[in-house]
Structure 1
């Protein structure tokens, strides 16, 4: 097949994928999304005719992206990559002022005697198109009717307590990965991977306890001593990944990254196409969850919320993610 034929084939594949999104969501809002997603192909696409996903990458944004993106960074912890260098260990232990002397190495040994000890998501390929939906908890999801579009992705990543029951039309019904920490733990079904975001060694001890002795019920606040989840699907975000996101992407803004921003970075490292829902304020500028009326801190507490929002907008503009802004 000559180069022209290959490009034509890939254009057709790209257009067909967009049409599938339209069919899945069936609304005027998705028509608007089609015009955003289906953009003129760039020179970088013409050079890489094997691209199987959303290949409309902003060529000028390529340098900006790869100055920050490190594909070799360990995303998830396992016994083989668990050794932490001094700087990473010191930074991580300082996040929540953990002062208790604990043998990290022994905790890791116990951790991976219980939970899967493998190199997850190491099957990247030019012929693979794994799609991720990262679903935040913003009130802008209300009346969005994004549910079918969210559920059409291969991986659906949610965070903390964001529910699906009763909100399926707007947020979808499926969850493949839920990113939590002890203070935000919720029960999950057997189809969902519990992805622990550990801010301290005590968080690693908590996940061990939650599936065994159930004796840890206090960190800096009361936490659930146990959680319903499939222990064969437990994953742990690597502390080095947290540090990389904070330094390489956030330029050390704030004290550490928000769970939402880490979730987007997690998706960028395990998926080929990333679709983001439920981030930012509602159309009238309100900041609250879709499942309650509680006003949330738009600055993100210890996080630099404004800088994170600018980065997310930049990733969308440079076509590294697709941002759905809700209503």
Structure 2
């Protein structure tokens, strides 16, 4: 962790820090954004926080093109940091386990890639600017888990209840912003098995139930 912190940065862009009233939008990946035409509305916020590998390119009319921060973890880093973000986008690693730090360090320092310890193989090549990478403070994980989800901080090792990236992003925004709006959250109605879950892919509740996840 200390090695990783030594090659990443802590600061926020001055353009954000200097805002007297930070208006933030946390954009989820839900199906409700499809054909929503909310792109311009989302882009009008001072800060736009996106999640995981949700694409922007090709969906600008519905989800906008502005990305101030993108929260992700290794298994969800299957996006092109250059094409799916802005040049000044902050890429915020959400570390759920120790190996996540090792993966990030290996990527940024061109070391031998870490392949084991993940529930899904993370990218082995990830073209990110180290100056744009940040590490999410564990404080937000603790607050989200203990205060919002009432999860015990002393869970048995086999119990792996953890906050979602979306809920962590909302918690971060509530601490960081003066005004917070969310868009694209929520699952389809459970009775509608054919409704897609995300705005950018065809996975449905029915297909998700049949998968191993």
Establish whether residue 271 from structure 1 lines up as the match of residue 177 from structure 2: yes
The 3 A distance-change label for structure 1 pair 209 and 232 is: same
Q: State how far apart, in whole Å, the 2-side matches of 1:172 and 1:118 are.
A: 25
Match for residue 55 of structure 2 among 128, 153, 163: 163
Structure 1 range deviating more: 136-145 or 206-215: 206-215
Rg larger in structure: 1
Match for residue 4 of structure 2 among 88, 105, 111: 111
* TM value normalised by structure 1: 0.53
- Whether contact under 8 Å (1:132, 1:157) holds in the other structure is yes
Q: State how far apart, in whole Å, the 2-side matches of 1:236 and 1:174 are.
A: 21
- Whether contact under 8 Å (1:280, 1:287) holds in the other structure is no
SS in 2 for 1:148: helix
RCO higher in structure (CA 8 A, sep ≥6): 2
**Larger proportion of helix:** 1
Q: State how far apart, in whole Å, the 1-side matches of 2:182 and 2:142 are.
A: 22
SS in 2 for 1:211: helix
SS in 1 for 2:126: coil
Counterpart in the other structure of 2:122: 223
Q: State how far apart, in whole Å, the 1-side matches of 2:111 and 2:88 are.
A: 23
Establish whether residue 209 from structure 1 lines up as the match of residue 106 from structure 2: yes
1:240 CA displacement: 3.0
Counterpart in the other structure of 1:132: 24
- Whether contact under 8 Å (1:196, 1:234) holds in the other structure is yes
The 3 A distance-change label for structure 1 pair 118 and 192 is: closer
The 3 A distance-change label for structure 1 pair 252 and 216 is: same
- Whether contact under 8 Å (2:81, 2:127) holds in the other structure is yes
Q: State how far apart, in whole Å, the 1-side matches of 2:74 and 2:23 are.
A: 28
Q: State how far apart, in whole Å, the 2-side matches of 1:147 and 1:211 are.
A: 32
* TM value normalised by structure 2: 0.79
The 3 A distance-change label for structure 1 pair 168 and 270 is: same
1:195 CA displacement: 0.3
Moved over 6 A (4+): none
Give unmatched runs, 5+ long, in structure 1. Answer: 1-106, 303-327
Q: State how far apart, in whole Å, the 2-side matches of 1:225 and 1:212 are.
A: 12
Task: Number of aligned residue pairs: give it.
Answer: 191
- Whether contact under 8 Å (1:163, 1:291) holds in the other structure is yes
- Whether contact under 8 Å (1:209, 1:216) holds in the other structure is yes
The 3 A distance-change label for structure 1 pair 197 and 263 is: same
The 3 A distance-change label for structure 1 pair 159 and 209 is: same
RMSD between aligned alpha carbons? 2.8
1:266 CA displacement: 1.0
1:120 CA displacement: 8.3
Q: State how far apart, in whole Å, the 2-side matches of 1:164 and 1:133 are.
A: 15
The 3 A distance-change label for structure 1 pair 206 and 226 is: same
The 3 A distance-change label for structure 1 pair 124 and 167 is: closer
Counterpart in the other structure of 1:240: 139
